[in-house]
Amino acid sequence: MGSNMAEAHPVGFQWVMEAKARGAKVFHIDPRFTRTSAHADQHVTIRAGTDIAFLGGVINHILTHDLDFREYVTAYTNAPYLLSERYQDTEDLDGLFSGYDPYTAAYDASSWSYASVPMEEQPGRLLKEVSAPYQHGAGGPFIEGAAGGIESDPTLEHPRCVFQVLKRHFSRYTPEMVERICGVPQELFQEVCRAWTENSGRERTTALVYSVGWTQHSVGAQFIRAGSIVQLLLGNIGRPGGGIFALRGHASIQGSTDVPTLFNLLPGYLPMPDVTHEDLTTYLDGVRGRGQKGFWGAADAYMVSLLKEYWGDAATAENDYCFDYLPRINGDHGTYRTVMDMVDGGKVFGYFLLGQNPAVGSAHGRLQRLGMANLDWLVVRDLAMIESATFWKDAPEIETGEIVTERCRTEVFFFPAASHVEKAGTFTQTQRMLQWRDKAVEPSGDQRSELWFFHQLGVRLKERLAGSADERDRPLLDLAWDYETEGDEPSPSDVLRHINGIDLRTGRTVDGYLDLKADGSTVCGCWIYSGVYANETNQSRRRTSRFETGPYDAEWGWTWPLNRRVLYNRASADPQGRPWSERKKLVWWDAEAGEWTGRDTPDFEKHKPPDYKAPAGASGIEALDGDDAFIMMRDGKGWLFAPAGLADGPLPTHYEPHESPMRNLLYGQQGNPVRKVYGRPDNPSNPAPPEAHSEVFPYVFTAARLTEHHTAGAMSRQLPYLAELQPELFVEVSPELAAERGLRHLDWAHVVTSRTAVDARVVVTDRMAPLRVDGRVVHQVWMPYHWGPTGLTKGDVVNDLIGVVADPNVFIQESKVLTCDVRPGRRPRGPALLEYVADYRRRAGITTETGTRIATAGGHIERAHIEPDRPEEPS
Amino acid sequence: MTQDNSFYGPLSDPAGNAGHTDHPPRVGFFTDTSVCIGCKACEVACKEWNAIPEDGIDLLGMSFDNTGMLGASSWRHVAFVEQQRPLGRQDAGLADLPVGPSSTQETAEVVADALEVAKRGGGDLGTAPVDLGFPSFDLPGAGTGAEARTEFRWLMSSDVCKHCTHAGCLDVCPTGALFRTEFGTVVVQPDICNGCGYCVSGCPYGVIDRRPDDGRAWKCTMCYDRLRDGMEPACAKACPTDSIQYGPLDELRERADRRLAQLHEAGVTEAQLYGRDPDDGVGGDGAFFLLLDDPEVYGFPPDPVVPTRDLMSMWKHAGVAASALLAASAAVFLGGARR
Amino acid sequence: MGVKRWLDAWPVFRQLTGTDPLGRGKAAQSARSAGLGSRTESADRVAGSVCPYCAVGCAQRVFVKDEKVVQIEGDPASPISRGRLCPKGSASKQLVTGPQREQRVLYRPPYGTAWQELDLDTAMDMVADRVLDARRKGWQDTDEDGKVLRRTMGLASLGGATLDNEENYLIKKLFTALGALQIENQARI
């Protein structure tokens, strides 16, 4: 679901074909019939953005028919735990959970906690602004006292236990409702339920694959939660052949999250400190918590080792290891927020683009380009010339008159980058495997690696600030910036060594994060990568052939953490440590040897027996019982219900997309009540019920990749061999929509939203099919998004159609579903385009407030959330 | 046992027949289209290895096929066929959806019109093959257009030179530019070819073609240079799902027979082999296919025949003409050497 | 060229005297064809690499001859990709050797209408100056409640999903030391 694996990950898809050849059944649930569907046993056409309704239906099917893997669920999930009496469900509140503040459009999550471990009430506004999930990195939020025993009902019958709450929450997600919301015929839906449940349990497992078809939604994090709940109920997590596979789209996008270039994270999912963290201790209390179970308990060792790596000798116990040197976050500093600040002027002056082309590849391309046109300076580093470097002369806004070259003040530097064969280093692929690349040749001309560029920049900045007495310059002056060099750039091996971690007493690399210390005697740049340079050997460079190793291929590259392939693989054994079945054995307890063993590196303390009970008062790793398989979670359990940590509710709930042609059939609450809206004149929304005039944009729009191109096109539109395979932007429509709108195959058409209109050639195809949704026919339209105004093949920028509205947990934009109109013929050119789109906005009655009255439960439409978003406190 | 014939019918050892002694076993491609995901890696890997020029950045609208056909600068071509029929027991999930008639027929007509004016490299120089229908035109199984569509499947198939046992291109080549290699494959030698174009009309599949810029004929060499170093061809190497399999032809034929049986057992009764049969009009193909429909659906001629089938009888009746052919080839060789 | 060698080179001669009387095989093979071999075999060296496109992580072998990349193809030993590549991975050589690759630093001054060339060293100095300027202009010591921010909102960065871990590490480290927060990449897009 939410993945077109055959097209976006063709070489990975060989394993699906392999599984199919061995008898696996493949289901593809997607808005359109793709090259993945062509090889699926069953294709299911779904209305874009309704995946939670579908998955909720699956959950309801499982619970109604007692099809869950009960022993697994009871032992390894939080199903038995009792919830607070203050908790109210969406069933009680017309689509809202308890704690909602319509004024701030945020939740106080305190009522979602377990009964025995009440949480402090927190004003919603802070949660909204600070994005609570981000405050906790990947560790999740606290469950106060989680290590001390949580009130539970192992029979799963108590009305307030998670299992029963879950059952009630999804009780109206019936096959009839799935059909009405998703457009999936009941019989087809039940076929999916049958196959999924029949292929799960002791002897069998089912894998679930998703990609950005799930993340790019205003409820994206909850899509994934819904999939996780199904997989937990069926016992498909931590077991071979099971799991949830997030297929990521860039060579090291996993790595750039682990070793983050993200505002809210430090390496290894340690959170970036915020304004409430006055010193290292308060910060660490916020990460590991008191009385929490699990491996975040050692966060002090991870963090101190990171600070030691950053600031070397300057970081001492006395000065809190330079914790004060870290800048503090206090809100949404995500890329879209930043771009709006650029447009507004006076806030952001300089911008680096490193192998990224937001003029084409980010949502709302026009906003991106207008932002870039309002900077002091812009640095673009890329292999080839890209639209984000040339916006001042060829942006679509030149044609409309919104950008005038001679009046555009932005100073632009273009630096040619070294390619992947011209530098050595690691990429982390989608299954967390680091693979080293050797340098094949030297780059030519001015081409340089990022390593060279940023090292040089740091050296020059340090030179300029040398001797500065300004306290704010200390972090830079004290920065450890003395890596070994190879030629004129830092040695990537040495950087990787420091990422791995070094024991300062011996000068040798540590073997893993278990060796890290909180006393300043170790340095480590990213604790989860610790072990990649164990034994002073670059483990990521290992290339022992698959012909010489077993099925877990443990000597090819290196997978974090600790070269482990399946996370939470303790769950592949039963609570007593025996494999659930011979067929599905992975790791198990060897009583004689007194250790966990198996085919994979056990994801558990090696010598902790299955029947181990943590002593009272223990916390962290020590507090994990022998059957707490989910070792990173605060309570050691897989979360069916998330008692804290999510901004938009403890359970996934079907909300209509921000732009939708229809009303939410399950609740009065139409869309995600906590989604981030940016009500600004330059970011209009198409109306969605209960707002009027949604019929002006009657069709559902979704966009995705083609096999033959790559993202914003810089690595494909410029290459003749790829450009000729998909030579032009097109829009796919069904024969039925073609008839309705008078569209003819290969003729021109244009797609219109309240942001703009884009041209494309029409492709009429049976691969697109209309759906019957609550008695009416809904058409979906699809476009690939790789084109821009330059390259061997040029086209309009599809992302210009998309506005910015974001998931409240992760601030990812909803670009996988919006509404649109489609008309035959080309769009107007130049200033006439602006007038044409303005006319659409007039007809749809669109104002800055459209789409921003996000609380609609109980028939009340609350205040609009428009910028500047400084709500006065209600009197 | 059938008498091996140099021009028609089964021929057990084409390389030996072409004067290669102690040669390696005959190799070939088995393209199992039932696992093709239409990624076109084969097209790109082929072009990268063989340094073939780009030949047309224009939208053809033939489903996801923008290559159109094999040609002088497209030695692999992935066809995409959208059809109103199920694939084995696969279910496209159309039942109960509010769908109307299929658009396949209509889009095929639009594409056919557009193709007439499309500029394709080499296409102008080549001779359009007689039986080469484009995919999805007048196909068996295409909807009649009146009723609501209920079934759908999307077929993909990577086409390539067939490296025929009796290769029409080779047999009519007057210059010796085309030759049979020690691997039993058929290769055109750019250092010999003078661009006369006889081979273009000699190919029953419409594979070989001339390049507009240099006029010489080009086609798949099965990566002759790689084969000589014991490597597999670039397309087979890249293919993510092993749809393109390379190896000794005998092994491939056995593998194909097993795969066919497996698919039939799995309910894909429409699966059939194409070009595997040594008794066909070209003596069997060195590159053969497992198809999920009749050959013409994919743009293959249903009954290809090497144009030299009747050459032996012609020789008997026209020795004079044969001598003239020899003289002509000598003249061409000398002429080529002077260039 | 002696007469015998000239005659040997003549296919018709070989055809009439050799094992290939019809002149369709051995006799027709040209000297070029007879000498053919793969450029991977004749490469000077091969580097182990990884495809730079999607996140599957297909292993590549990069063949180098005379300090130029002459071929990139899959590494059959990889347990992930088994030597296979998709069309993008198969186009990697074009990606790294094609004419679209820029070679020189280019500079567009404010209000400029065309690119200018700029010396790399000069450009680096200019960027360093501008970073300090933007940092200063966007500096925030505390928020409205007096809580420590110690940061600059004056500069931002986007990118990293196609960069190496080591590079991202230095990027985050340097920007963090500068007090810059708005360091983002494709993972949020």
Domain presence at residue B43: yes
Contact A770 B89 (CB under 8 A): no
Residue among A361, A410, A472 minimizing CB distance to C189? A361
- A420 shares a domain with A291: no
Residue of higher predicted confidence among C10 and A563: A563
Q: Are residues A686 and A710 in the same domain?
A: yes
- Structural domain of residue A746, as residue ranges? 676-859
Nearest to A239 by CA among A491, A489, A585, A709: A585
Contacts of C133 (CB under 8 A, 6+ apart): A349, A350, A376
Q: Does C64 touch chain A (CB under 8 A)?
A: yes
| Phi/psi of residue C15, nearest 5 degrees | -65, -40
Helices (H), chain B: 14-17, 41-50, 104-117, 168-172, 198-202, 224-228, 234-238, 249-265, 311-317, 319-338
Number of separate domains in chain C: 3
Average pLDDT over residues A833-861: 93
Are A320 and A412 in a shared domain?
Answer: no
Q: What is the dihedral of CA A654, A657, A663, A664, to 10 degrees?
A: 10
Write out chain A residues lying below 8 Å of C68, CB-based.
441
**CATH code of A717's domain:** 2.40.40.20
Distance in Å from the first CA to the final CA of chain C: 67
Q: What is the ipTM of this complex?
A: 0.95
Residue A126 clears pLDDT 90, i.e. is over it: no
Tell whether C58 is covered by a domain: yes
Whether A688 and A836 share a structural domain:
yes
Size of interface B-C (CB pairs under 8 A): 126
The count of domains in chain A is: 3
C145 in a structural domain: yes
Average pLDDT estimate for C38-63? 97
Residue C75 contacts B where some CB pair is shorter than 8 Å:
no
Assess whether A834 and A716 both reside in one domain: yes
Same domain for C24 and C60, yes or no, is: no
Collect all residues of chain C within an 8 Å Cβ-Cβ radius of residue B182: 25-26
Determine, for residues C23 and B176 on separate chains, whether the beta-carbon distance falls below 8 Å.
Answer: yes
Q: Inter-chain contact B49–C71, Cβ cutoff 8 Å?
A: yes
Which of A387, A455, A454, A381 has its CA nearest to residue A418? Answer: A381
Bigger pLDDT: C15 or A322? A322
Are A635 and A150 within 8 A, CB to CB? yes
B139 within domain boundaries: yes
Assess whether pLDDT exceeds 50 at residue A129: no
Name the residue of chain B whose CA is nearest to C28's CA: B176
Q: Return the amino acid letter for C186.
A: Q
Residue A17 Cα, gap to closest chain B Cα (Å): 7
In a domain, B10, yes or no: no
Question: Are A261 and C172 in contact (CB < 8 Å)?
Answer: yes
pTM score of the predicted model: 0.94
Q: Are A316 and A414 within one domain?
A: no
Helix, strand and coil in chain B, % to nearest 5:
30, 15, 55
A44 vs B: CB within 8 A: yes
The answer as to whether C80 is a domain residue is yes
Quote the pLDDT of residue A120.
Answer: 55
Q: Do B90 and A746 touch (CB under 8 A)?
A: no
Instruction: State which of A449, A465, A485 marks the end of a domain.
Output: A485
What single-letter DSSP state applies at residue B307?
T
Q: Write the DSSP string, A638-669.
A: B-SS-SSS-TT-SS----B-SS-SS--SS-S-
Residue B202's domain is classified under what CATH number?
A: 3.30.70.20
For residue A258, the model assigns a pLDDT of 97
- pLDDT grade for B123, boundaries at 50, 70 and 90: very low
* pLDDT tens per residue across span A433-466: 999 999 999 999 999 999 999 999 999 999 999 9
Task: Specify binding-site residues of B for [4Fe-4S] cluster.
Answer: 36, 39, 42, 46, 161, 164, 169, 173, 193, 196, 199, 203, 220, 223, 235, 239
CB contact under 8 A, B154 and A33: yes
Residue A567 scores a pLDDT above 90: yes
Q: Enter the DSSP assignment of A83.
A: B
**Parent domain of C22:** 3-34
Binding site members of B? 36, 39, 42, 46, 161, 164, 169, 173, 193, 196, 199, 203, 220, 223, 235, 239
Residue C122, in any domain of the structure? no
Interface A-C: count of C-beta contacts within 8 A: 480
User: Distances in Å between the alpha carbon of A338 and those of A267, A373, B139, C21?
Assistant: 22, 14, 54, 77
* Residue A422 φ/ψ, nearest 5 degrees: -105, 10
* Distance from chain centroid for Cα A164: 29
Interface residue C38 vs chain B (CB under 8 A): yes
Same domain for A347 and A368, yes or no, is: yes
Asked if the bond preceding B174 is cis, omega within 30° of 0, the reply is no
Given this model, what pLDDT does residue B136 score?
Answer: 42
Query: Which one, of B187, B249, B198, B224, lies nearest residue B30 by Cα?
Result: B249
Flag whether C102 is in a domain.
no
Phi, psi of C10 (to 5 degrees): -90, 115
Residue B181 has pLDDT above 80, yes or no: yes
Q: What is the CATH number of the domain that holds C54?
A: 2.20.25.90
Distance between CA atoms of C73 and A115, rounded to whole angstroms? 58
Give the integer Cα–Cα distance in Å for A202 and A73. 12
What pLDDT is attached to residue C38? Answer: 95
Q: Supply the angle between the helices A450-465 and C120-137 in degrees, to the nearest 10.
A: 60
Q: How far apart are CA A696 and CA A714, in angstroms?
A: 34
Q: Which residue of C has its CA nearest to B181?
A: C25
Q: Count the domains in chain B.
A: 1
**Mean predicted confidence (pLDDT) in A166-180:** 98
d(CA A743, CA A751): 12
Q: Are residues A802 and A821 in the same domain?
A: yes
Query: What residues make up the domain containing B241?
Result: 24-308
Chains that touch C (3 or more CB pairs under 8 A): A, B
Confidence of residue A148 (pLDDT cuts 50, 70, 90): low
Let me know if residue A842 belongs to a domain. Answer: yes
Chain A touching partners, 3 or more CB pairs below 8 A: B, C
Q: Tens of pLDDT along A502-539?
A: 999 999 999 999 999 999 999 999 999 999 999 999 99
> Percent of chain A at pLDDT above 70?
95
Spatial distance between the Cα atoms of A21 and A4, rounded to a whole number of angstroms:
19
Chain B positions contacting chain C at CB under 8 Å are: 6, 15, 17-21, 39-41, 43-45, 48-49, 170-171, 176-182, 187, 189, 191-192, 223-226, 228-229, 231, 234, 237-240, 242, 326, 329-330, 333
Of B53, B193, B63, B168, nearest to B120 (Cα)?
Answer: B53
Asked if the Cβ–Cβ distance from B97 to A185 is below 8 Å, we say yes
Residue A223 has pLDDT above 50, yes or no: yes
Residues 28-57 of C with CB under 8 A from A: 45, 47-57
Query: Do residue A361 and residue A300 come from a single domain?
Result: no
* Distance, CA of A458 to CA of A473 (rounded, Å): 12
The A residues from 94 to 123 touching B (CB cutoff 8 Å) are none
| Under 8 Å between Cβ of C97 and C69 | yes
Nearest neighbour of C104 by CB, restricted to A363, A409, A416 = A416
Q: The domain spanning residue A425 has which CATH number?
A: 3.40.50.740
Nearest to A44 among B40, B93, B153 (CB): B93
Same domain assignment for residues A758 and A714: yes
Interface contact flag, A409 C108, Cβ < 8 Å: no
**HSE (side-chain half, CA atoms, 13 Å) at C67:** 3
Predicted confidence (pLDDT) at residue B100 exceeds the cutoff of 60: yes
Q: Do B97 and A771 touch (CB under 8 A)?
A: yes
Whether residue A456 is contained in a domain is answered as yes
Q: What is the mean pLDDT of chain A?
A: 94
**Which residue, among A7, A250, A468, would best test binding to C if mutated, counting the most C CBs under 10 Å from its CB?**
A250
**Domain-located, residue B125:** yes
- A557: which residues sit within 8 A by CB, 6+ positions away? A433, A434, A435, A436, A539, A540, A542, A543, C57
Does the pLDDT at position B314 exceed 90?
A: no
B chain contacts of residue C94, beta-carbon cutoff 8 Å: 48
SS (H, E, C) A771-822: EEECCEEECEEEEECCCCCCCCCCCCCHHHHCCCEECCCCCCECCCCEEEEE
Residue B332 has pLDDT above 80, yes or no: no
Model confidence at B141, pLDDT cuts 50, 70, 90, reads: very low
Q: Both A341 and A313 in a single domain? A: no
Q: Which among B19, B44, B231 has CB closest to C18?
A: B19
Q: What angle do CA A121, A127, A128 make, to 5 degrees?
A: 140
Answer yes or no: do C55 and C92 share one domain: yes
Q: What are A643-701's pLDDT values in tens digits? A: 989 999 999 999 999 999 999 999 999 999 999 999 999 999 999 999 999 999 999 99
For residues C57 and C91, membership in a common domain is answered with yes
User: In which band, very low, low, confident or very high, does the pLDDT at A870 lie, cut at 50, 70 and 90?
Assistant: very low
Task: Show the 3-state SS of chain C.
Answer: CCHHHHHHCCHHHHHHHCCCCCCCCHHHCCHHHHCCCCCCCCCCEEEEEECCCCCCCCEEEEEEECCEEEEEEECCCCCCCCCCCCHHHHCHHHHHHCCCECCCCEEECCCCCCCEECCHHHHHHHHHHHHHHHHHHCEEEECCCCCEEEEEEEEEEEECCCCCHHHHHHHHHHHHHHCEEEEECHHHC
Has residue C118 been placed in a domain?
no
Q: Is residue B322 part of a domain?
A: no
Our CA-based measurement puts residue C38 at a distance from the nearest CA of chain A, in whole angstroms, of 19
Provide the pLDDT confidence category of residue B126 given band limits of 50, 70 and 90.
very low
Domain shared by A682 and A820, yes or no:
yes
Residue C83, Ramachandran bin (φ over 0: left; ψ between -120 and 50: alpha; else beta): left
